Amino acid sequence: MANVSLNAVRKNYDETLHKDTLRNINLDIKEGEFIVFVGPSGCGKSTLLRMIAGLEDITSGELKIGDSYMNDVPPVERNVGMVFQSYALYPHMDLRENMSFGLKLKKMDAATIKKRVDNASDILGLDPLLERKPKELSGGQRQRVAIGRCIVQQPNVFLFDEPLSNLDAALRVKMRIEIAKLHKELQSTIIYVTHDQVEAMTLADKIVVLSPLDEGADSNLEQFGSPLDLYHNPDNKFVAGFIGSPKMNFVDATLVEINAKDCVVELITGERVTAAVDANRAKVGDAVQLGIRPEHLVESEHEHAQSKVTGIVQVTEHLGSESFVYMDVKGCDFTFKARPEFPAEAGDQLTVGIPTNACYLFDENELAFQRTAKYNRGA
Ligand code: ADP
Ligand code: MG
């Protein structure tokens, strides 16, 4: 097990194009932490993981694993184990042979190999399957073998690149829970890449949110923090929009009143909303954006409906356990996560409440103002 630290790491695949893929990535990953890299497709998650593994050069900056400088150390000497999305197992070998193969290459003695494979297969529940060939396994079982092949190496750091994205939805949930259990059992440092923010929220001790690098931006590391920290206190609009499902609602607005612990904004749709944020670094008249999560909107008679907006219902989805109401508020899209069987039909006029404590607010540069409250609508 080991710490991993990245200092001002940059990646440029082709210096002649002057276009970086990753810039100014600073991370301090502690021994035993489960870290998830999340971000839209193409933002550089795999690149960053592959640089840690040693499969990709680091253009500039510094990578340390434990206390050792790793930039120029070949992959096999880094003692990291990697599991990919496609779990290329050897088709002609049974599971035991698949898991033993890497250790045999390292000329490890047979008794140690057996012990390690038995231990991994015990952890992963593969014991009854050890004599089978990969083609006799389900997708989830094959992915477990790929993880087992990694565990037997006893790496200092586990690197997972979207390991569940080839599995169907039900199996993904099951494997997600197994990976969480595995981390508890092994207590090892895990760095895990996904574009699925639910996987990120449920697995991570800390999440790294990456965005596609804007030319001219100082960095494309948007935020590094615990899942709930990102949910309640996103640093900027990108993180606010990426974490949470369905996505946060955003409305353009203007600051009309600034107090010590809250402020009032006038939405582009005309309504005034009181938001529990400290906007003292801005001034009245500044353009801002209000953010409100679908699960924080309330019915208009709710005790927390301190501000209200009215719109026209476009579509209602009844999912049994909850309903999603998609509304048009004078040209702005609003999603309202409502109670089961909430009565709202396309064309209805609907007023929803915006609790003061549930508001997020972003400045012209899409940076968040500090929130002064946290909100939970309750059941
Ligand atoms: P992600 O894993 O977040 O989807 P990647 O790290 O695979 O993103 O890719 C990030 C960017 O780097 C993409 O624009 C991709 O086209 C580019 N890229 C990835 N690998 C290479 C490569 N070997 N050569 C040149 N460009 C690459
Ligand atoms: Mg990738």
Residue 97's pLDDT band (cuts 50, 70, 90): very high
At 377 the pLDDT is: 79
- Digit-coded pLDDT (tens) for 226-238: 999 999 999 999 9
Q: Which of 41-50, 80-89, 278-287 bottoms out in mean pLDDT, i.e. has the lowest?
A: 80-89
- Assigned architecture for domain 4-240: 3-Layer(aba) Sandwich (3.40)
CA 214 / ligand 1 centre spacing (Å): 15
Buried b (16+ CB within 10 A) or exposed e, 117-127: bbebbebbebe
Of 15 and 122, the structure prediction assigns the larger pLDDT to 122
Domain boundaries, the chain: 4-240, 246-371
Task: Kindly report the protein residue whose alpha carbon is nearest to atom 23 of ligand 1.
Answer: 13
- Digit-coded pLDDT (tens) for 147-177: 999 999 999 999 999 998 888 888 888 889 9
At 251 the pLDDT is: 97
Distances (CA, A) of 7 to 28, 38, 48, 58, 377: 8, 19, 12, 11, 40
Q: What is the arithmetic mean of pLDDT over 115-142?
A: 92
Residue 71's pLDDT band (cuts 50, 70, 90): very high
- Digit-coded pLDDT (tens) for 284-339: 999 999 999 999 999 999 999 999 999 999 999 999 999 999 999 999 999 999 99
For 116, the token pair is 């390690």
Average pLDDT along the chain: 94
* 87 has a pLDDT exceeding 80: no
- Digit-coded pLDDT (tens) for 344-359: 999 999 999 999 999 9
Kind of pairing between the strands at 68-69 and 263-267: unpaired
* 369 has a pLDDT exceeding 90: yes
Rg (CA), the chain: 24
Task: Kindly report the protein residue whose alpha carbon is nearest to atom 13 of ligand 1.
Answer: 42
CA 48 / ligand 1 centre spacing (Å): 10
Task: Kindly report the protein residue whose alpha carbon is nearest to atom 24 of ligand 1.
Answer: 13
Q: Exposed/middle/buried for 202, CB within 10 Å: 0-12, 13-18, 19+?
A: middle
* 260 has a pLDDT exceeding 70: yes
- The correct answer on CATH 2.40.50.140 for the domain covering 246-371 is yes
CA 50 / ligand 1 centre spacing (Å): 11
**Residues lining ligand 1, judged by CB closer than 6 Å?**
13, 21, 39, 41-47
Q: Which ligand 1 atom is at minimum distance from the Cα of 13? A: 25
Residue 139's pLDDT band (cuts 50, 70, 90): confident
Cβ < 5 A residues, ion ligand 2 = 46
Torsion of CA 20, 83, 161, 51, to 10 degrees: -20
At 379 the pLDDT is: 58
Please state, as a whole number, how many other Cβ atoms lie within 10 Å of the Cβ of residue 299.
Answer: 15
Q: What is the arithmetic mean of pLDDT over 59-66?
A: 97
Q: Which ligand 1 atom is at minimum distance from the Cα of 14? A: 25
